[in-house]
Amino acid sequence: MVKIATWNVNSIKARLPNLLEWLPAARPDIVLLQELKCQDEGFPGLEIKAAGYAYLTVGQKSYNGVAVLSTQPIVPRLTRLPGGEGDDHARYLEVETHGLVVSSIYLPNGNPVASDKFPYKLAWLDRLVAHARGLLLEERPLVLGGDYNVIPTALDCYDPQAWVGDALFRPESRARFRQLQALGLTDAFRALHPDRRAYSFWDYQGGAWQHDLGIRIDHLRLSPQAAGRLAASGIDRAPRGKERASDHTPVWCELRD
DNA sequence: ATGGTTGCCTCGCAA
């Protein structure tokens, strides 16, 4: 069995104690991290290695930044999502490890909708759909995981009315997200829990965590070759309740050997 | 109710 988790840590430096506490408790084989908020040289590699993980990072000063941790060696494939001329954001890392093709994705937030950030998000989603189409042709077990910054349906949101008009819930964002499903990429959480209301993000503001006012925006999408091996999936709420927590919590799945 | 909170490493921006 191989356990894969994705976690937007909202600064790897601020979250290192939480991460080092969570790794031996959750025992994931592969971890996809987002929002490192540091350059590669600032990544706490010694501590991660001491915890038993190889790692690859795509860092950026102050913003964005993604990484893959693995208990087995990691072979890099891509450090940028193809198709974005001049897009220098650190939002995509594609590797091979544990016999899987795995990507750590930090999709643009897209707010405010009236700014150029929203078309950037939609273009990024279009690029992801196009790239996924090519990846699926490899007919290999594949996991596209990360912070998609998309609320797929009303079930994934404490109050859909509160999110109408937001870039995370706009029809344009959700339509593009659904194209991944249509291509044959399975949502690892929703596939096994079709009716469950569960969230992966709670805003720092307004006591959102205390009132469970969350949204599900962190997703693991599986190719047919990976989905056929899906044994379990879930969302680990415990890290969100810790001191100095990220506003996101880990989402995970297990694939049979 | 344009508030509220967190992180970065500049005195605002992104989320």
Report the pLDDT value the prediction gives residue A104, as an integer from 0 to 100: 98
Report the pLDDT value the prediction gives residue A97, as an integer from 0 to 100: 98
Which positions in strand B are less than 7 Å from the protein's CB atoms?
4-9, 14-15
Report the pLDDT value the prediction gives residue A166, as an integer from 0 to 100: 97
Residues with CB under 7 A from strand B: A 10-11, 13-14, 37-38, 61-64, 108-109, 111, 117, 204-206, 244
Report the pLDDT value the prediction gives residue A77, as an integer from 0 to 100: 98
A102 strand-pairing partners: A95, A143
CA of A209 to C1' of B2 (A): 22
Query: For residue A111, which nucleotide's C1' is closest to its Cα?
Result: B15
Q: What is the largest CA-CA distance in chain A?
A: 46
> What's the CA gap between A251 and A210, in Å, rounded?
19
Q: What is the mean pLDDT of each run of 10 residues along chain A (257 residues)?
A: 98 98 98 98 97 98 97 98 94 98 98 95 98 98 98 97 96 98 98 98 96 98 98 98 97 98
Query: For residue A106, which nucleotide's C1' is closest to its Cα?
Result: B15
Report the pLDDT value the prediction gives residue A106, as an integer from 0 to 100: 98
Query: For residue A246, which nucleotide's C1' is closest to its Cα?
Result: B6
Q: Could you tell me the two tokens for A239?
A: 């890290």
CA of A64 to C1' of B5 (A): 19
Q: Which segments of chain A are extended strands (E)?
A: 2-8, 30-34, 54-58, 66-70, 75-78, 92-97, 100-106, 142-147, 186-187, 201-202, 214-215, 218-222, 230-235, 251-255
CA of A72 to C1' of B6 (A): 33
